[in-house]
Amino acid sequence: MIDTQKGNRPSIRLKPKANARAIRHGAPWVYDNELVTDRRTKGIAPGTIARLEDADRAALGTVAVNPNSRIFARMLDRDPDAVIDKAWLAAKVELALAHRARLFPDPFYRLIHAEADGLPGVVIDRFGDTAVIQPNAAWADVLFDDLAAAVAEVTGVSTVVKNASGRARGLEGLDEETLVERGAVDGPIPVPMNGATYMADLLGGQKTGLFFDQRPNHAFAATLSNGARVLDVFSHVGGFSLAALANGATTALAVDGSQPALDLATQGAEATGVADRFDTRQGDAFDVLTSLGEAGEVFDMVICDPPAFAPNKQALDAGLRAYERIARLAAPLVGPGGYLGLCSCSHAADLDSFRKSSVRGIGRGGRAAQLIHTGFAGPDHPQHPALAESGYLKALFFRLTA
């Protein structure tokens, strides 16, 4: 059992040239090359709570350590003697819940957004009476029972799902599993957003089952959708298309590589009462966009919300080329005066790079455009001001004028 209390807590120390000032000013991560590492520090068990010191051994705070990760330490508390237990976790959840309760009348939202909510590496999405927890850092895996108990006590949910899958856990050297920790999940859960009803598969779907981060961008697209023919590419469970149909779109075609996701989208269309105006097409998005163009299809609004083409710096160049290609293929499908929405959830692609790739693609597609709106993740996905990676989502809306 890893001791999370202060009595037997190990210490780790920054190298003399490491930027202790950044830590003091709020930086939440300490990389392995910033620390004095020896056999002792490398032998600390993943998930151990430790005391972080600067090069002069002055305390900087309480951190969670994982020698198996490039991010060796994650800041938990500026108090070097903080006790990291269920009460500490509950206080973080209470603070996060107070914010979400002001934002949304119904309990469907991201409850914890990792570092920005003071629980580094932890993502929690709430679906009514169910919370889905992603413990993407070793310390959260170690303290998962306390975390689940704290979430249940603070929010009152009866069901807690542990979703331990995805790339982030692999980078931490953690295993993958998804299971119901308490309560029960009986099929997809209906989620009301922007006038539509989405069906979230909490056990077999992507991520936690639904992408709450796009809620404000779905809403903006919906304001443009009255009377529109809509193409929703990389639609997942119908994110943009169902919101558009619920707000007056004439028809919507959802395109995705996953047939199970499209089946959920169809269920959502039925639950929303718009199934007669909704259709799906399963296939590779690039191939479908190409075939639609060859067939001369035209839409009033085209939205492309692909997965992260540039999840890290090594993939950045290839990712930006992929975003450009998407824009090039999508732009010709938009009718005169219509709208094109392009999204990126890539950490490594900043807004300026993504915008430039999108504009190049639109130009290569033979179109001229106005940039009318730039969107980001919703306020239940707060950004950590010292962590650029927490501002990952970008959505660009263009009106094609020629």
Same structural domain, 62 and 31: yes
From the CA atom positions of the chain, what is the Rg in Å?
23
pLDDT in tens, the chain (402 residues): 444 455 579 999 999 989 899 999 999 999 999 999 899 999 999 999 999 999 999 999 999 999 999 999 999 999 999 999 999 999 999 999 999 999 999 999 999 999 999 999 999 999 999 999 999 999 999 999 999 999 999 999 999 999 988 777 877 888 888 899 999 999 999 999 999 999 999 998 888 889 999 999 999 999 999 999 999 999 999 999 999 999 999 999 999 999 999 999 999 999 999 999 999 999 999 999 999 999 999 999 999 999 999 988 999 999 999 999 999 999 999 999 999 999 999 989 999 999 999 999 999 999 999 999 999 999 999 999 999 888 899 999 999 999
| Residue 234 belongs to a domain | yes
Short-list 158, 341, 311, CA closest to 244: 341
Same structural domain, 352 and 324: yes
Same structural domain, 155 and 56: no
| Residue 3 belongs to a domain | no
Distance CA 369, CA 360 (A): 11
Short-list 68, 76, 214, 94, CA closest to 151: 94
The DSSP output letter for 332 is G
SS3 18: coil
Same structural domain, 354 and 384: yes
**pTM for the full model?**
0.94
Distance CA 109, CA 99 (A): 11
Same structural domain, 31 and 116: no
Same structural domain, 66 and 151: no
Number of structural domains in the chain? 3
Short-list 324, 370, 314, 372, CA closest to 344: 324
Range of the domain at 376: 189-400
Q: What residue has token string 């069901």?
A: 159
Distance CA 232, CA 268 (A): 14
Query: End-to-end distance of the chain based on CA atoms, in angstroms?
Result: 65
Same structural domain, 114 and 66: no
In sign, the C-alpha dihedral spanning 267, 111, 163, 378 is positive
| Residue 320 in tokens | 């930006």
Domain final position from 49, 77, 105 = 77
